Structure 1
Amino acid sequence: MMQAIGRHGPMHALESPARRFRSPHATPAGVRKAASVAVLAALPAWVAVPAEAATPIATTATIPVSATVARGCQISGSAQTTGLSFGLLDFGVHSPVRTGTHSVMATGGSGTQAQVLCTPGTTLRVTVGSGLHASGAQRRLSNGSQFIPYALTLVAAGSPVLLPNVAADMALGATPTALPIQATATFPGSGLSAGTYTDTVQVTLSW
């Protein structure tokens, strides 16, 4: 084998320039080819994997909804500002020697009797005044200087006597109802002059 002698020592006779100047970090040809095949073989598997769909994120919230029904009562069947009438108490015609008691319920008379309806569970308070001719706590019908005593009762649970200016309670529902006021007169039996005996009482409702 022939060797060439250079300035810095002997040279291999058949060494090509490409091998002579190859980078010390270069990958051998056989290894590079194997790596290339491995990469190409992996590409189809990567392409075939489908992308995962995005999972929606649910967003929830609440909206408060409410309504309030006021507690109270309403007058129906008549104007609430003028001409309001809770009825008429009429004992009728009696003998001048009539004795004992006589009771009547308030009626509409010749007009329209006002009715009351309330929200369920509402307590209605009824207060009746003493009238125009009372003697103490005794209400009286009057004909000049002569009188017929009478009492008022609220015909409801317990039927409380309606003392002058003392409230009595009753429960009403959503059905319009006339005030169940009863009057009871006591006739003396003698001494009464002929004529019409009258009185007027004021009724106040509250709740």
Structure 2
Amino acid sequence: MPVAYRMAAAMLAGALAGGLGAAPATAETSKSFQVSAVVANGCSVTTSGGSSWGSIDLGTVSGVSTATVQASLLQSGQAGLQIDCTPGMTASVTADTGLTPTTGGVRQLASGTSTVPYLLYANGSNVPWTTNAIALSFPVGTSHLSVPIVAKATLAGATRAGAYADTVRVTLSW
């Protein structure tokens, strides 16, 4: 190869290596990205597991008693339904009439064919809770409510011995 050609090639290589006429190399060293989430309205009921939201135990009473007995709904050691909802929303809770057919709109505890009438009271009301909806409000800053539920049974005085029970289905809607 002629000397002039080698010299021109060497100068071109030197110019390219030295960055002659080329822009300095740059690299982006920072970028941003967006993080987002959507918080949807919703509720949950605290339970101790299973399909039960608690139980009301009116205790053991004499079959000749005419007393009125009462007890509160308990779940996981706490009284009432423990409800958590998104702050700023409203919800409602309803109860059905129970598994035992009612008499005059009054729920019945049953043991075989024997029954004991009882009433439910909710949220501190003195009016029996039938199947009407109870409105619940969760103002901004509030996400937890405890809804007290009490059962009262007035014994007839000549009640057959046995374990009396009923199951009431409670529905939370929002």
Question: With structure 1 as the length reference, what TM-score do the two structures score?
Answer: 0.55
The answer to whether 1:180 aligns with 2:148 is: yes
The answer to whether 1:84 aligns with 2:32 is: no
Distance in 2 separating the partners of 1:160 and 1:73: 26
Q: Structure 1 stretches of 5 or more lacking a match? A: 1-65
1:99 alignment partner, SS class? coil
The answer to whether 1:73 aligns with 2:43 is: yes
The answer to whether 1:132 aligns with 2:102 is: no
CA contact (8 A) 2:45 2:53 kept: no
1:197 alignment partner, SS class? coil
Aligned length: 134
In the other structure, the counterpart of 1:14 is: none
CA contact (8 A) 1:141 1:147 kept: yes
Displacement of 1:145: 2.0
Q: Specify which of 115, 118, 142 is matched with residue 110 of structure 2.
A: 142
Displacement of 1:109: 6.8
1:137 alignment partner, SS class? coil
2:63 alignment partner, SS class? coil
Aligned CA distance change for structure 1 residues 166 and 114 (closer, same or farther; 3 Å): closer
Distance in 1 separating the partners of 2:116 and 2:156: 8
Distance in 2 separating the partners of 1:162 and 1:89: 15
CA contact (8 A) 1:88 1:109 kept: no
Displacement of 1:75: 2.9
CA contact (8 A) 1:98 1:188 kept: yes
CA contact (8 A) 1:132 1:201 kept: yes
In the other structure, the counterpart of 1:155 is: 123
Question: With structure 2 as the length reference, what TM-score do the two structures score?
Answer: 0.64
Instruction: Show the 5 A alignment for 1:30-41.
Output: none
Distance in 1 separating the partners of 2:126 and 2:92: 13
Displacement of 1:68: 5.3
In the other structure, the counterpart of 2:70 is: 103
Structure exhibiting the larger radius of gyration computed from Cα positions: 1
Aligned CA distance change for structure 1 residues 184 and 171 (closer, same or farther; 3 Å): farther
Q: Specify which of 150, 162, 170 is matched with residue 203 of structure 1.
A: 170
Distance in 2 separating the partners of 1:114 and 1:150: 19
Displacement of 1:182: 1.1
Q: Identify, as 1 or 2, the structure richer in strand.
A: 2
Q: Specify which of 157, 166, 169 is matched with residue 135 of structure 2.
A: 169
1:83-119 per-residue CA deviation (whole Å, 9 max, x = no partner) reads 2321101100011121132211111279xx9732112
Q: What do you get for the CA RMSD once the two structures are aligned? A: 2.8
Instruction: Show the 5 A alignment for 1:115-130.
Output: 115-130=82-97
1:198 alignment partner, SS class? coil
CA contact (8 A) 2:91 2:137 kept: yes
